[in-house]
Amino acid sequence: MISNLQKKLMNKEFVVTAECGPPRGANKRVIAEKIKLLNGHVAAVNVTDNQTAIVRMSSIAASAHLVAAGLEPVMQMVVRDRNRIAIQSDIMGAYSLGIRNILCLSGDHQKFGSQPDARNVFDIDSTNLIRTVRDMRETGCDMSGYTLDEAPAMFIGAAANPFADPFEYRVLRLAKKIEAGADFIQTQCIYNMDRFKEWIKRANDQGLTDKVYILGGVTPLRSAGMARYMKKRVAGMDIPDKVIARMEQVPKDKAALEGVQICLETIEELKGLKGVAGIHLMAIEWEEIVGTIVEQAGLKSTGLKRTEG
């Protein structure tokens, strides 16, 4: 069974992935609700792994719930909480449960979370996580070189943040992740379109977009307060003042509408950019808006091809 996301990307469709944060508890009905809101609108759904270092239902378990409901997950995995032994074991387990996509991440530092006293792991870094998953798929072996009885063959994703510093290094870092084995990239939320365009231009110039599928990250803002909070508090987030001003200029009850409008404009620009294979729509705790945005962005009918050169 091949990943549906992979199939669509290979077919040059302009894809949409969404995000689903597992609950802070064992309540699987929360997952079922989110599945209901997302199913049918997107190619796959990222299931976050204790994001912002707050303890939640595991991404593997939540991803398995998605598989059971017929919605394809992209299981996120961070190297913050597992050493290489647990990582490889969890990937095998995830694959056995029908999970076919993985997003390899470092993970937010536990300082940001609800349990900052925790010890972190960081046995291997995110680049080496990518390489480990790739090697399992390509060689059929684990990190020790032992031949596995059915190696997990994951479609491998990685993150890129075009907005972090130093900017000059960001494309080089992307190249390093591709070299390690990334098949697709999901970027940090795009609000600074100028900087994103410069980044994707450099990636195009270096031929990187021929080697990897890049999905541009977008997050609809719900209020001016959320925009200010994200700019200040979320690591690696770049929200230009003019975007915040736009959110502030509308009445509070119209702010969400304005946020969706900004998001739609961003998607429209991304659709026209060479090297952008789709979008990663992260509607944080706002899954009900995903269907609307997908429809209004003209991405409802499958088969929209991505822009090429």
Partner 1 sequence: MITGSQKPIQEIADLVAPYDRVLILGCGTCVKTCFAGGEDEVAVLASALRLYFKRTHKELAIDELTIERQCENEFIQEAAAKAGQNDAILSLACGAGVQALAKRFAKSPVLPGVNTTFIGIQASPGVFTEECSGCGNCGLAVFGGICPLTRCAKKLLNGPCGGSQQGKCEIDENTDCAWHLIIDRLTLLGQMDNLNVYIPPKNWATSLSGGPRKLIREDHII
Binding site for partner 1 (CB under 8 A): 79-80, 84, 106-109, 111-112, 120, 122-128, 132, 143, 159-161, 163-166, 169, 172-173, 175-176, 179-180, 188, 235-236
Residue whose CB is less far from partner 1, 122 or 229: 122
CB of 90 to partner 1, least distance (A): 16
Residue whose CB is less far from partner 1, 165 or 295: 165
Residue whose CB is less far from partner 1, 165 or 288: 165
Among residues 213, 218, 164, which one has the least CA distance to residue 189? 218
Chain centroid offset of residue 190 CA: 12
Q: Token pair of 68, please?
A: 């059971």
CB of 22 to partner 1, least distance (A): 22
Among residues 119, 56, 64, which one has the least CA distance to residue 95? 64
CB of 91 to partner 1, least distance (A): 15
CB of 265 to partner 1, least distance (A): 24
Q: Can you spell out the DSSP letters for 255-266?
A: HHHHHHHHHHHH
Q: Name 292's Cβ contacts closer than 8 Å, sequence gap at least 6.
A: 260
Residue whose CB is less far from partner 1, 21 or 162: 162
Count Cβ atoms below 10 Å from residue 274 Cβ, excluding itself: 13
CB of 262 to partner 1, least distance (A): 22
Burial class (CB in 10 A: 0-12, 13-18, 19+), 205: exposed
Residue whose CB is less far from partner 1, 14 or 163: 163
